[in-house]
Amino acid sequence: MRLQLAKQLLDRQIVDSDGRLVGRVDDIAFAVDEEGYPYVEFLLTGQGALGQRIGGRVGRLLVAVADRFVDRPPVPPLRIPLAQIARVDSAVRLRCPVADLPPSPVESWLRRHLIDRIPGADRASG
């Protein structure tokens, strides 16, 4: 059976177990087993992963923008292990809530340096 991963996974929305949007599948990370067969290890999401996939001038711009909003560039993509994927239909559905995934470095930087400085931001509902 031939599987076309680009068609099946890339650019699909990623939805957590509570129905919240996590992002889109921007790239795929492969590994190789003991017998030399490749397999999907992680789905990658984030501007850095998308920029590297697109390449060229636009891709470099996406990576540069993402790197601007972190304390230690380059921005690593969010790596979602294949074991966290419940199913793939119109979206990639996860087995876990987004809170169980590592936080996005860009979102963390924006929260610390922008959102948390807005008066009353600590009282906003999540």
pLDDT at 102: 81
pLDDT value at position 1? 43
CATH code: domain of residue 34: 2.30.30.240
Record the tokens describing residue 47, joined without a space.
């501007």
- Structural domain includes residue 116: yes
pLDDT of residue 25: 94
Instruction: Tell me the pTM.
Output: 0.76
Give the span between the Cα atoms of 31 and 72, in whole angstroms: 26
Amino acid at 86: A
Does the residue 83 lie in any domain?
yes
Q: Is 3 part of a structural domain of the chain?
A: no
pLDDT for 109: 74
Residue 1 lies in a domain: no
Give domain status of residue 4, yes or no: no
* Residue 82 belongs to a domain: yes
Q: How many domains does the chain have?
A: 1
Residue 2 lies in a domain: no
Residue 3 confidence (pLDDT):
60
The predicted pLDDT at position 123 comes to 65
Residue 53 lies in a domain: yes
Find the domain containing 85 and state its range.
Answer: 9-123
Rounded to whole angstroms, the Cα distance separating 36 from 113 reads 45
Q: At what angle do helices 47-54 and 56-68 cross, to 10 degrees?
A: 160
Query: Could you tell me the mean pLDDT of each successive run of 10 residues in the chain, 126 residues long?
Result: 72 94 91 93 88 88 83 84 92 93 76 79 60
